[in-house]
């Protein structure tokens, strides 16, 4: 009855469902074990009427016009540039580190050229940049590493930056200008009516049937589809045959305050103090007006929902074993942050799903006469 069973209703699954249903004219059953669509990007109005993100702050940013326009079919956008301050030595200073950060932190009045000289004196020689520690030591040196990165990274990942791939802290650049935006992507915006609303519109197609509270393990025998797209954790699909892939989880603590605003920007990071990594105030992201405000504190944990694949060599090797096994199942397609064990942002997941859709459509296309002849001649 269905052409595709899609496991997971987050960005990875929803984009494929939408494409397969509307461009591929396929019948799709999309399931999620949770009681809502949207995956980790799910948002909702809390009991006070404030729009919050259930799984932590999600800010959309991309350099891809194609992705921005594709999602724009399902939402209007509210322009939003995220800004983050870090609480360091009793002061709030901009992150990523920029010219204003250094001047405020050290009580200086450097120019960009002088900041370059300042950092050159602080940088440590790093032969080969392999780890997250190397990245930071090689760009800003030990003192700033310890203030901004060491404590935050240990809290967030439960391991030292020296044990994490370089790609993790490389997400946060150093700037010698005064640009205090967290991201510099060409397109930075929030879905005007929230992520869940956008997902509702993506999935509102007669060829798409949604089933919530449905764990793949429990329902897989009930729906025999020709093809499966799996966006849950790849190790779970294979019943942890080679062992568990490590993930980092987060305990989100929400608090609603009887005041209009709590902090001066969207997020404040706490690299050197507190058990949480950061506090985000949702109204700063969504632009909502409300006499109260809701904030979320993020406490990273080892146990819990798998939110972050942990980028390091041994985990990649373990993932590669699962990937090799997955290749023996041509009718099951793994995608998304958990399905491919990649620390991907939302736009990267959308890009990955659009690419998979193209691949599936190409292999689905009926062979024309010329191609049939060519294939026949090779048999
Ligand atoms: P998910 O959203 O995780 O969706 C997978 C779905 O599969 C889940 O709903 C899950 O319930 C379901 N599932 C799993 N197993 C099963 C099963 N056995 N049966 C049925 N269903 C199953 N990205 C950004 O671009 N900007 C940000 O600001 C940003 N902030 C983030 C903050 C946090 C705290 C986190 C954790 C992530 C953030 N991200 C951000 C990343 C973003 O969440 C992901 O890129 C994106 O949501 C991944 O989509 P996905 O569909 O691959 O996975
Ligand atoms: N990071 C840090 N201090 C900061 C901000 C980031 O040490 O003030 C490091 C930390 O290891 C973090 C990584 O850089 O996990 C990536 O940061 P990002 O803000 O991109 O994380 P995400 O939003 O994905 O949780």
pLDDT tens across 270-293, in order?
999 999 999 999 999 999 999 999
Rounded to 10 degrees, what is the CA torsion of 275, 281, 284, 287? 150
109: number of Cβ within 10 Å: 8
Whole-number pLDDT of residue 226:
87
Give the residue extent of every domain in the chain. Answer: 2-76+189-243+310-364, 84-170
- Our answer on whether the CB atom of 10 is closer than 6 Å to any ligand 1 atom is yes
Give the distance (Å) from ligand 1 centre to CA of residue 214. Answer: 17
Overall CATH class of domain 2-76+189-243+310-364:
alpha beta
- Our answer on whether the CB atom of 169 is closer than 6 Å to any ligand 2 atom is yes
Q: What is the mean pLDDT of the chain?
A: 95
- Our answer on whether the CB atom of 306 is closer than 6 Å to any ligand 1 atom is no
- Our answer on whether the CB atom of 269 is closer than 6 Å to any ligand 2 atom is yes
Check pLDDT > 90 for residue 370: no
Of the listed ranges 105-114, 304-313, 350-359, 360-369, the least confidently predicted one is: 360-369
What span, in angstroms and rounded, lies between the C-alpha atoms of 200 and 38?
8
Which ligand has its closest atom nearest to the C-alpha of 37? 1
Q: For the chain, how big is the Rg over CA atoms in Å?
A: 23
3-state secondary structure of 208: strand
Nearest CA to ligand 1 atom 14: 232
Atom of ligand 2 nearest to the CA of 84: 8
Instruction: Give the HSE-up count for residue 180: Cα atoms under 13 Å, Cβ half-sphere.
Output: 15
- Our answer on whether the CB atom of 149 is closer than 6 Å to any ligand 2 atom is yes
Whole-number pLDDT of residue 283:
98
What span, in angstroms and rounded, lies between the C-alpha atoms of 196 and 313?
35
Q: What is the pLDDT of residues 332-345, one digit of tens each?
A: 999 999 999 999 99
Whole-number pLDDT of residue 368:
53
Whole-number pLDDT of residue 353:
98
Which ligand has its closest atom nearest to the C-alpha of 64? 1
Which ligand has its closest atom nearest to the C-alpha of 96? 2
- Our answer on whether the CB atom of 307 is closer than 6 Å to any ligand 1 atom is yes
Check pLDDT > 70 for residue 369: no
Kindly state the tokens that stand for 92: 């709030």
Check pLDDT > 80 for residue 210: yes
Q: What is the pLDDT of residues 14-49, one digit of tens each?
A: 999 999 999 999 999 999 999 999 999 999 999 999
3-state secondary structure of 143: helix
Check pLDDT > 60 for residue 209: yes
């Amino acid at each position: 009855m269905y052409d595709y069973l899609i496991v997971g209703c987050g960005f990875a699954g929803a984009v494929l469902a939408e494409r397969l249903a509307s461009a591929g004219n396929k019948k799709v059953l999309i399931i999620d074990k949770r009681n809502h669509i949207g995956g980790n990007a799910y948002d909702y109005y809390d009991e006070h009427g404030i729009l919050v993100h259930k799984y932590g702050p999600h800010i959309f940013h991309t350099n891809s016009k194609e992705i921005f326009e594709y999602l724009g079919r399902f939402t209007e956008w509210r322009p939003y540039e995220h800004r983050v301050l870090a609480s360091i030595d009793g002061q709030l200073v901009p992150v990523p580190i920029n010219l204003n950060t250094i001047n405020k932190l050290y009580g200086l009045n450097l120019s960009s050229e002088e900041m370059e000289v300042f950092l050159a004196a602080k940088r440590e020689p790093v032969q080969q940049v392999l780890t997250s520690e190397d990245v930071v030591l090689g760009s800003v040196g030990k003192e700033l590493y310890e203030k901004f990165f060491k404590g935050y990274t240990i809290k967030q990942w439960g391991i030292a930056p020296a044990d994490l791939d370089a790609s993790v802290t490389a997400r946060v650049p150093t700037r010698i200008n005064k640009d205090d935006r967290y991201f510099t992507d060409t397109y930075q915006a929030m879905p005007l009516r929230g992520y869940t609303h956008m997902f509702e519109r993506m999935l509102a197609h007669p060829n798409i049937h949604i089933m919530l509270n449905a764990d793949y393990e429990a329902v897989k025998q009930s729906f025999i589809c020709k093809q499966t797209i799996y966006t849950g954790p790849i190790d779970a699909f294979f019943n942890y045959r080679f062992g568990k892939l490590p993930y980092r989880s987060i305990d989100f603590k929400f608090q609603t305050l009887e005041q209009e605003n709590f902090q001066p920007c969207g997020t404040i990071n706490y690299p050197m103090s507190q058990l949480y990594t950061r506090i985000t105030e949702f109204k700063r992201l969504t632009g909502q007006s409300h006499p109260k405000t809701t904030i979320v504190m993020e406490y990273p944990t080892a146990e819990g929902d798998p939110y972050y694949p942990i980028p390091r060599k041994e985990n990649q090797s373990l993932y590669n074993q699962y990937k090799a096994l997955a290749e023996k199942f041509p009718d099951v397609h793994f995608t998304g942050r958990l399905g491919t064990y990649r620390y991907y942002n939302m736009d990267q997941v959308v890009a990955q799903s659009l690419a998979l859709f193209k691949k599936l459509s190409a292999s689905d296309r009926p062979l024309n006469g010329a191609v049939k002849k060519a294939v026949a001649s090779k048999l």
